[in-house]
Structure 1
Amino acid sequence: MRSERLRVAGTEGVGPYVLLRLRRSRLQPGTPGQFFMLEAPGRPLPRPFSLCVAPPGELGFLVEPLGPGTSAIAALGVGDEIRVTGPLGRGFDLDVEHPLLVGGGIGVAPFPYLSECLGAPPAILGFRTAFHAEAAALVPNATVVLDPVLVTNALPTDPGDVLACGPEPMLDALARHVPGAQLAREAPMACGYGACYGCVVEREGRYVRLCVEGPVVREAVAVG
């Protein structure tokens, strides 16, 4: 884990999202599904982000500007600096034979980098609107479904090795349909390395810190 101030190399609009590209310096991209803590300008706490793209010399993060913190990060311009810490947590296990990426909304964020590492496997991506679905262009071999269709309804009979990221209800449904799927879970995080216990959640009868034992976990059944 390292922490450095990185300079903004560029930003791109991707539907309602912003792809923030930072000059890498000495930070390494890590394993797909790990995350980085990005300092939110003018806010007291950083925000966790999965790495979206990792071209040579850069780290790219897909930002959905919703609250004050993410909006401040999305508003950064070329030449601005932001403190970045990472990579953190546990990413996806890439030792899979028949990967299928399944994502929803901003949950597609780690898939461009993950897809690159896995050789562009098929992906099923769900979005609220066609505007949000513009993010699917970042992921090769993607099949897009829009509300009210659910990604679970688009799964093949034998989905293979599912690697998923998205809203909790979607992940819970996948856990019921595909036991053993790799699910990138979410929880509020303040530190990112297990000290604050802000991301403690119950999983399969025990409590885990998602920033340390996740965010990618395997679950036989959904919780709750």
Structure 2
Amino acid sequence: MLGSRIGAAFGDLHRRNGVEVRTGIAVSQVTVREGHATGVQLADGAHVPGDLVLFGIGAVPNIELARDAGLATDRGVLVDAALQTSHPDIVAVGDIAEAEHPAFERRVRVEHWANAQNQPAIAARTLLGKEAVYDRQPYFFTDQFDLGMEYRGLASDPENVVVRGDLAGEYLAFWLDDGDRVEAAMNVNIWDAGDDLTALVASSTPVDRSRLADPEIPLAEVGAQR
């Protein structure tokens, strides 16, 4: 989602804080002594000692009930932009909802509590027969060491990124599509740009990449030059 350039910046953040980061290396096995983990054996022959081993392998949505009930499913429970499932009397929200979104050409399933918080109001309108569309931009945040960030939108190409600021400190990152429109944006240790970033992601207007990267130019004025 963040791409190699921004991913490397997060890796460097952890290294600066004493974390040893190794990528592209398979784990052969967890080593154990007397029923307790002692580390991991890597495919390159190295052994990394440790008292605790944690595997971050992602999550699988629990959609068995929906599937057994005959609802359409894929990576989640399929819903339209009003959060209605394939059954007219059933809606789905939260992590399991794989929803049509007016801003994207594909369905979106977001694993973040913001969806569970914001989608029910739309689902309730749908159940009441009122017009409703869930059009909030996908969003998540994280705090790591002295870094705080917020990401909004959904990038189709994580490598097509423009950065404004210092990757080792405070910066904004923008992911563009082939037409230089902002598909996603992230603020890192900058807390007064949220509204401008939301507006840029919501806009379908192309931007000028050099102006987007220039901190002296207000974000509201980064439109492509004619």
Is the helix fraction higher in 1 or 2? 2
Q: Larger RCO: Structure 1 or Structure 2 (Cα < 8 Å, ≥ 6 residues apart)?
A: 1
Is the strand fraction higher in 1 or 2? 1
